[in-house]
Structures are given as structure tokens and as C-alpha cells.
Amino acid sequence: MKKYNYKYFWIFTIVISCILFCAFIFKIKIKQKFIKIGLCVQLSGPGAELGLGVRNGARLAVDKINANGGVAGKKIILLVKDDQGKPTIAKQKDLELIKQGVVAIIGHITSSVSIAAVPIANKHKTVLLSPTTSTPALKNKDDYFFRINTISEDEAKFLANFAFNHLKLNRIGIIWDKKNVYYSKYYAKSFTQAFNKLGGNVLFSIGYDKPNSINLSLEKITPQFKIKNILFICSDIDLLTFIKSKFRYISYILASGWPMTPTLTINKHLLENKNIFFASSTPPKKNQKEIMFEKSYKKTYGFSPVFSAVKGYDAVRLIVKALQINPNNLKKGLLKIKNFPGIQYKITFNKYGDIKTPTYIYQIKNGHFIHIKYDK
């Protein structure tokens, strides 16, 4: 009897082992059929419009690539997380994506969130590809951070040159968002240095936590300095809040490319008779690829894309190209990319994962962003 039980025990053990082994092999095969790409951007709360644009653009790229057979026969799965624009949440969500086995993470939107997330990417050797981060604090670093947006100091210098030489402004104040300090404060610093070098004078540079918290102090400062020109380094929502406050002393409003979204154009009644100028890396003339992209985007989502949608679309395509170049090392694959045909411009990463693009000046008129020809 004992012999009989012993014999069947081994048969049972062998059968179970075979089942587990087959299940393991099956799991590997299933795993090999997909390539997971993470996307972690702000999808909720004020200022989420850019993040939603990135997500929508990325989904369009994934759908198109999968419809054409995927990457070496493998379908792409886009795993999406909402970082809510908060550094602590971004780090948590990035770790979740890394544990899920993503080959890269597309994110984040703001510079301050990206700064917080980079150490996580470096520790786990996972590429973090930002569509819009532009802080100089991350330049010239050999890490796993890549971006497809130009560094903000170049844009700030160009805007300072435009303000001094074209608009003939020699005195200006600066208001910048403390919530995105690594972008806004660095932008203010670069603008100030360039403006002062030209012979201008930055009379004050004030950071704020909430727009309403600065209105009273600004009303006191403005008549004190008799300042008529202000550079706002903030989101679209915050810029509208400042404009609504109707400072009667302000003649010219300057802004970075950050708030250039439909949120401003649909509120054109608030912008009437105001001189508002923006600096942006978005090219003024749409090429055929961009026209086709906008058509596809509008057909899918029912409305026109914001500028970040193009960057989300290109981010997926860049990751796919890098995988084709070097499937075993995405970082090395990205660094080998030269003159990649992006939707708006060709993309070449330098050895630190940064790119360089021209800067353009826009003015908002009658609910449209109009390109102002200016060559310093």
C-alpha cells in the first residue's frame, strides 16, 4: 500500500511540474507578443490640457503602428498613468510602470515633475522621454532622461531680444509660477540676464503659489515702479486669471510657449485690445505631415490638437525607431537617431538626450495665434 502511494505521488509530482513548466513557457510567449510603453503625464486638475494632448497623440501613434503590424510582429501596449502634476505621485506611478515591465516612460509635462522623476529612471535604467520638459537643470547630464522640447533658456533669450529690440521695451517685471519652479524660475533668470545685457532693466521677479495670492502685491508694485510691461511664466489657466484682474497699468504682456493652448483662444473676449506676445518652438507654417496629423486627430477625438499632441505622437515613434536600431538597449538606440522625421521638425539627440529647435514669436489676435516675423 505504501509502495502504491509512493508511486502515484511521483506521477502526480511529474504531472504538476509539466503543467507548471508549460504554463511558464506559455506566459513567456504571451509576454513576447507585446511591447509595453508607459505614459505618465498630468491628466487631471488645472493645466491638464497639455497632458491630455500627449496621451491622445501617443494613442494615435500606437494605433497606427499596431495596424501596420507592430514592431517586429509585436503589438504595442500603452500603459497610461495620471501624475496629477505632482512630483510625489509621478515617482509612485513611474515605479508602478517599471514594475509592469515597460521599455520606456513617456513623461512628464512640467520640469519640476521631471526633475523629481529622473532619479527613479536612472536607478532602474529606464528611459524617461519627456514631450515638453525644457529646464536647463537637466541639460548636459549622461542619464536616462531624453526630451523632444528645446531647452527653455534659448527661448527666454530670444524673447528678451524681441522685447528689447522689436517692441522697444526697456523696463519689465516678471511673474513666475513656483509650482513649476525648475522651469519658470530658470526661464526668468535666463530672460533677465539677456534683457539686462541688452541694456534693459528687470524691475522685479516674483514667484507665486496661486495667482490670486499675488494680485494685491502686484497692484502695489505696478504703480510704484510705473511698470507697463510684464512677462508671465505660467500655465494658460493662470495667465487668464492674471488677465482677468485687469491691471490698468499694463501695456504689454509677454509669455513663454507654455500657455499657448485653446484655453486662451476660446476666451478671446478677455484678450481684446491687449498686446500679448509668446515665444514658442512651434513652427508657424504647417507642413503636409502636420496637416494630416491634425486631420486624423480631429477625426478620432472630435476637436483640434494642442501643440503637445504632436510631441506625444513623435515620442512613441521615436521609441519604436530606437527599438529597431537597438532592441536590447533603448538608450543607445535613441542616441543613434539622427534627423528623425518628426511631425513638425527633424529630431536629433545630442549625447545628453537633448535637442535644439528654432524659436518663434506669436501674438494672439481675434482668438488666433499669429506668427510675428522676427529674426534677431
Joined grid coordinates for residue 345:
521638425
Kindly report the three-state secondary structure assignment for every residue of the chain: CHHHHHHHHHHHHHHHHHHHHHHHHHHHHHHHCEEEEEEEECCCCCCCHHHHHHHHHHHHHHHHHHHCCCECCEEEEEEEEECCCCHHHHHHHHHHHHHCCCCEEECCCCHHHHHHHHHHHHHCCCEEEECCCCCHHHCCCCCCEEECCCCHHHHHHHHHHHHHHHCCCCEEEEEEEHHHHHHHHHHHHHHHHHHHHHCCEEEEEEEECCHHHHHHHHHHHHHHHCCCEEEEECCHHHHHHHHHCCCCCCCEEEECCCCCCHHHHCCHHHCCCCEEEEEECCCCCCCHHHHHHHHHHHHHHCCCCCHHHHHHHHHHHHHHHHHHHCCCCHHHHHHCCCCEECCCCEECCCCCCCCCCCCEEEEEECCEEEEECCCC
| Confidence bin at 224 (pLDDT 50/70/90) | low
- Taking the C-alpha atoms of residue 173 and residue 171, their distance in angstroms, rounded to an integer, is 7
Residue-level pLDDT at 197: 97
| Confidence bin at 29 (pLDDT 50/70/90) | very low
Residue-level pLDDT at 351: 96
Note the Cα 6 to chain centre separation in Å. Answer: 64
Return mean pLDDT, the chain.
89
Mean pLDDT is lowest, of 19-33, 40-54, 62-76, 209-223, for 19-33
Residues 6+ apart with CB under 8 A from 372: 166, 277, 361, 362, 363
- Taking the C-alpha atoms of residue 163 and residue 156, their distance in angstroms, rounded to an integer, is 11
pLDDT over 70 (residue 86): yes
Which whole number is the average pLDDT over 36-62? 95
Residue with cell 504554463: 23
State the distance between the two ends of the chain, measured CA to CA, in whole angstroms: 97
pLDDT tens digits for range 94-107: 999 999 999 999 99
Residue-level pLDDT at 111: 94
pLDDT tens digits for range 140-179: 999 999 999 999 999 999 999 999 999 999 999 999 999 8
